[in-house]
Amino acid sequence: MTDASLEQVRKIAFEGVDRTLFLHLGHFYAWFAQVELNITQILAMSLNQQDHEAFELLVQGMDLRVKLQRLRKACKKDDRLGPNMKSRILYLEEKIIPLRNKLSHCAVHKDDNQDLFYIASIGRMPWEAIAGLPQVGERPEEISGLRLFEAGYWLCQFMDDTTQAIKDSFSRKILK
């Protein structure tokens, strides 16, 4: 496929019926990745790891939940996690990571008629919404576009705060 024809296909895909799906998922995943990178950086700093290439060998492929558990342990003895950071990490673990896992391991379908996304699996398909067929079995989990955007926006704000925590950690010991 030539670049010109691929560009045409990309334009059709990104301006077509799936545009809203791509925007919402892309927004969420882009900020999730940035937050995970920052958490990894904070973990390395908490463990006084200067060689980031070597540290990456240790944490490469490690789930964010495990990185957060290790971060808590690394910061526990010096009580370096402030209450705000602790509560945000808890929110990340309890709300954001489970949502990310659902979005990553299920098929996400956008409802054509409303601001709604279906998180579908083989046993929980949105038959009526995507094919006009009678619903068979349990309906899939749903999330509104606004809630999905809100989760991505929360990640964006947390990314800003973790970036600031990284900068501030050079001058103080507590990660706020």
pLDDT tens digits for 109-118? 999 899 999 9
Q: How far apart are CA 143 and CA 102, in angstroms?
A: 11
What is the residue-averaged pLDDT of the chain? 93
Among 101, 29, 164, CA closest to 174 = 164
Please state the separation of Cα 58 from the chain's center in Å: 21
Q: How far apart are CA 140 and CA 127, in angstroms?
A: 9
Quick check: 151 pLDDT over 80? Answer: yes
Q: How far apart are CA 62 and CA 174, in angstroms?
A: 24
Residue with tokens 């995943």: 29
Give the predicted TM-score (pTM) of the model.
Answer: 0.91
pLDDT tens digits for 57-90? 999 999 999 999 999 999 988 788 889 999 999 9
Q: What percent of the chain has pLDDT over 70?
A: 97
